[in-house]
Amino acid sequence: MKRVARQKTAVSTAKPVSIGKRLKRSGSLYLLMLPSLVIMFLFTYIPMYGVTIAFKDFTPSQGIMGSSWAGLKYFRQYFNSYQFWITIKNTLVISLYSIVVTFPLPIALALMCNQMARKGFKKFFQVSTYLPHFISTVVMCGMIILFLSPSQGIIAKLLSFVGITLPNLMGQPSAFSSIYVWTEAWQHVGWDSILYIAALSAVDPSLYEAATMDGASKWQKLVNIDIPMLLPTATIMFILRTGSIMSVGFEKVYLLQNTLNSSASEIISTYVYKMGLVSSQYSLSAAIGLFNNIINLVLLLSVNYISKKMSDTSLV
């Protein structure tokens, strides 16, 4: 008892380690981390200064400092433009549609892979679902346009054998969101399931053995073991997805966009590109981008707060 008391006294009287000693003790680790910190500072924090052009009448010849102050002029210009509600609606439709489809599918795919008993078939199935992820966006969009061509596309050729004429889906605004979302699901669902498969691999096998001894069926094991183990990971992924709900991928939308479907495919990111780089309205495009990022930040913090209160699972 006296020895334990002495140890407790020694621990309680020990002085906290200074920052200098910590740096000296873990200097090699901090040195290894230094290039990443420098790159993040140079390419993430320093460019934030350029956001000020959203509040100025920016001209390249005068620079950021020399341009006159405009205040909220360009925010009002965007809010009052006819493109405001169009871009907001299209962005939300595509983004929410993507979440509804592509968020649960990787979870379902991971659960299905976890139930496969034959390892050879399981590996083949996983690899075959991962492969589309490595197709570049440009190639993927070219494939989509070729496959859906009403005259020369492979789908049109197959349907012609049964007397069905394929309509020009790429020219129909109502079909654009479905084309975008379901091709996105085909390309990335397999890759996105890796995280959930990794979470399921960490489940203690004794839980399955105990459930088997109690006479639990595969469905009961799925509901009572697998799904609860995935909930924390799924919650974190859902929070991250809601934090980018207003940021639909620019490249794919822009490459699939044409004059016929522009009423449904004009989203915030493509509008920012056209205003900033095509029309050289730099201040307007910066204001739109800043507004978009603020909305994403508010959504991220709100969903993270709600998740922390309801399930005690959050980013921080």
Is residue 90 a part of any domain in this protein?
yes
Asked if residue 88 is part of any domain, the answer here is yes
Q: What is the CATH number of the domain that holds 274?
A: 1.10.3720.10
Domain assignment present for residue 137? The answer is yes
Look up the domain containing 191 and give its range. 73-310
> Which residue in 20, 34, 83 sits closest to 270, CA to CA?
83
Residue 10 has what pLDDT?
Answer: 45
In a domain, 177, yes or no: yes
Residue 34 lies in a domain: no
Q: Residue 268 falls within a domain, yes or no?
A: yes
pTM: 0.81
Q: How far is CA 11 from the centre of its chain?
A: 46
pLDDT of residue 1: 44
Q: How much is the pLDDT for 5? A: 46
Run of H or E including 291: helix 282-311
Residue 5, domain member (yes or no): no
Q: How many CB atoms lie within 10 A of CB 197?
A: 17
| pLDDT digits 0-9 by tens, 126-152 | 888 888 999 898 999 999 998 888 888
**296 has a pLDDT exceeding 80:** yes
In a domain, 28, yes or no: no
Report d(CA 202, CA 288) in Å as an integer: 43
What average pLDDT does range 8-34 have in this prediction?
Answer: 68
Burial of 45 (0-12, 13-18, 19+ CB in 10 A): exposed
Query: Number of folded domains in the chain?
Result: 1
